[in-house]
Chains A and B, each alone.
Chain A
Amino acid sequence: MDLLAAFSEAFGLITRLDPGFVAIVGLSLRVSLTAVLLAALIGLPLGAWLALARFPGRSLLVVAINALMGLPPVVAGLIVFLVLSRSGPLGSLGLLFTPSAMIIAQTLLVLPIVISLTRATVEELWSEYRDHLTALGLTGFRAVPTLLWDGRFALTTGLLAGFGRASAEVGAVLMVGGNIAHYTRTMTTTIALETSKGDLALALGLSLILMTLTLMINGAAYAASRIGARFAGS
């Protein structure tokens, strides 16, 4: 297929907001944003705890979580698949091949990033704030809200990185979502499918959206660090 024709058709899909196209983009965003929110809810407190707690095996846990940041998406997908399959331990929930399964898989991918970054951020802030907060009686968990809030710019960057990872991955959502038309078909799985069908226009249009999204994420991350530097001196 002519590349130029594919491009012009792709632009057409975007500019006239083709409903099928919009639905795919919408589902992708909904799944990835929910996954990032879930990962934040779990990962921020867990990362803060890991930063402040001292227990045997802590270093091992820190290294393990750092390593999990590189967890291959297909492995995360496989784990979720095995757990959620009707023959798996949580099969009775009937979640395999649903958007919920994709959210779970992406949460698993984003979580190590959030935990790891939160731990590093909170640990660094704690070593700086320790005297001041201790003098105010804010030790242990009572220090966490202050540390998370003051790490907000770094943490925002981390969450954006997590969102980038979630929205760009294809292996896990393909496995656990099943790429069902109008139901679990995301931007990345559609790109893979349409390319295999030799239909490059839709694939190209979605790629353009994905790349724009990536650009926006990076812009936002840059802005967060700039704002952090300007308004918080961090």
Chain B
Amino acid sequence: MRASPSILPMIVDAISLQREGATLLDQVSFTLPQGGITAIIGPNGAGKTLTLRLCQGLITPNSGRVVWTHNAPMRRAMVFQHPVMLRRSVRANIEHTVRAIGGDTKRIDAALSRFALTTLANRPARLLSGGEQQRLAIARAWAQAPELLLLDEPSSQLDPGQTRDIEMLIQQLAADGITILMTTHDLGQARRLAKRILFFNRGRLIEDNTAGSFFTAPATQEAQTFLTGELLT
């Protein structure tokens, strides 16, 4: 199931995005290595979510492009900040996703058991707790057998206990070889999970660094300001 080994399966090349006269992303370029967890951080309006949506192909940039170095784009799945729960059972939610992409139906039950949803399989998805819904959203994404998993603020709605569970899941997925690109508001979470940090501010990629260097010795003034907790203007 894994992609052929390549160091740089995805290249984001000079992407700019304008909507209604405002520049939302400005000449963003980065490369995504195979495997591992990359976290996009930055203040509100930095362009974090937009970048994920571009990678998923939900929006097209005004200029620049996303280059897939394999022959075809990576198999991607995205988990939204507020995951859509279809008005169906937990199992039917996963089944719907798998059938929609023409995936392997054996992954339905596998997803249920892997994400500890088997006992909830027949419950209406919309009546689950926030943590359970997030787990279902990730299970649904996993059931698509993605090579690249895009997670938008995966724990923004969760309490600390639930956050810990989700972080463990993310780490296990990364350990399976799935490349993960996620956004987070939680600097601690970025520190705990990410190998690499993409720091955005006002639509520009300010710093692209390893997590170790970024948190100990940020290369840019803006990152330093952000890390001290001051507002970037």
Do A and B have CB atoms closer than 8 angstroms in the complex?
yes
Interface of A toward B, CB cutoff 8 Å: 128-129, 131-138, 146, 149-150, 152-153, 228, 230-234
Give every chain B residue within 8 A of A230 (Cβ-Cβ): 124
Q: Bound complex: CA of A135 vs CA of B56, how far in Å?
A: 7
Q: Which of B77, B85, B126 contacts A135 (CB 8 A)?
A: B77
Q: List 6 A-B contacts (CB under 8 A).
A: A132-B80, A133-B100, A135-B77, A150-B88, A230-B124, A233-B124
Check B125–A233 contact: CB distance below 8 A: yes
Give every chain A residue within 8 A of B86 (Cβ-Cβ): 129, 132, 146, 150
Tally of A-B Cβ pairs under 8 angstroms = 47
Q: Bound complex: CA of A133 vs CA of B83, how far in Å?
A: 11
Q: Which of A136, A146, A228 contacts B101 (CB 8 A)?
A: A136
How many Å from the CB of B210 to the closest CB on chain A? 29
Contact A131:B58 (CB < 8 A) given known A136-B101, A146-B86, A232-B88: yes
Give every chain A residue within 8 A of B88 (Cβ-Cβ): 149-150, 232
Check A137–B101 contact: CB distance below 8 A: yes
Contact A233:B96 (CB < 8 A) given known A135-B77, A135-B78, A136-B101: no
Give the contacts of B118-134 with A (CB-CB under 8 A).
Answer: 124-127
Chain B, 99-125, contact with A by CB distance < 8 Å: what is the 0/1 string? Answer: 011000000000000000000000011
How many Å from the CB of A90 to the closest CB on chain B? 41
Check B126–A132 contact: CB distance below 8 A: no
Give every chain B residue within 8 A of A152 (Cβ-Cβ): 87
Check B100–A150 contact: CB distance below 8 A: no
Residue B60 lies at the interface, judged by CB distance under 8 Å to chain A: no
Check A132–B127 contact: CB distance below 8 A: no
Q: Which of B97, B100, B101, B126 contacts A233 (CB 8 A)?
A: B126
- Tell me the nearest residue of chain B to A153, going by C-beta: B87
Give every chain A residue within 8 A of B87 (Cβ-Cβ): 150, 152-153, 228, 232-234
Give every chain B residue within 8 A of A150 (Cβ-Cβ): 86-88
Check B97–A136 contact: CB distance below 8 A: yes
Q: Bound complex: CA of A19 vs CA of B77, how far in Å?
A: 63
Residue B217 lies at the interface, judged by CB distance under 8 Å to chain A: no
Q: Which of B83, B101, B124 contacts A132 (CB 8 A)?
A: B83
Chain A interface mostly helix, strand, loop or mixed?
helix
Residue B232 lies at the interface, judged by CB distance under 8 Å to chain A: no
Interface of B toward A, CB cutoff 8 Å: 56, 58, 77-78, 80, 83-88, 96-97, 100-101, 124-127
Give every chain A residue within 8 A of B56 (Cβ-Cβ): 135
Q: Bound complex: CA of A232 vs CA of B128, how far in Å?
A: 11
How many Å from the CB of B55 to the closest CB on chain A? 11
- Tell me the nearest residue of chain A to B85, going by C-beta: A233
Give every chain B residue within 8 A of A231 (Cβ-Cβ): 124
Q: Bound complex: CA of A213 vs CA of B124, how far in Å?
A: 31
Q: Which of B78, B96, B100, B126 contacts A234 (CB 8 A)?
A: B126
Check B125–A132 contact: CB distance below 8 A: no
Contact A136:B100 (CB < 8 A) given known A232-B88, A232-B126: yes
Q: Bound complex: CA of A233 vs CA of B93, how far in Å?
A: 13
Give every chain A residue within 8 A of B127 (Cβ-Cβ): 233
Check A138–B100 contact: CB distance below 8 A: yes
Give every chain B residue within 8 A of A234 (Cβ-Cβ): 87, 126
Check B125–A134 contact: CB distance below 8 A: no
Q: Which of A128, A153, A228 contacts B84 (CB 8 A)?
A: A128
Give every chain A residue within 8 A of B126 (Cβ-Cβ): 232-234
Q: Bound complex: CA of A52 vs CA of B136, how far in Å?
A: 27
- Tell me the nearest residue of chain B to A125, going by C-beta: B87
Q: Bound complex: CA of A152 vs CA of B83, how far in Å?
A: 21
Q: Bound complex: CA of A136 vs CA of B103, how far in Å?
A: 11
Q: Which of B83, B101, B124 contacts A232 (CB 8 A)?
A: B124
- Tell me the nearest residue of chain B to A142, going by C-beta: B100
How many Å from the CB of B31 to the closest CB on chain A? 23
Give every chain B residue within 8 A of A132 (Cβ-Cβ): 80, 83-84, 86
Q: Bound complex: CA of A132 vs CA of B84, how far in Å?
A: 6
Q: Bound complex: CA of A230 vs CA of B89, how far in Å?
A: 12
Q: What are the nearest 4 A-B pairs in CB distance? A: A233-B126, A232-B87, A132-B84, A136-B100
Check B85–A137 contact: CB distance below 8 A: no
Give every chain B residue within 8 A of A128 (Cβ-Cβ): 84
Q: Which of B58, B83, B96, B101 contacts A134 (CB 8 A)?
A: B58
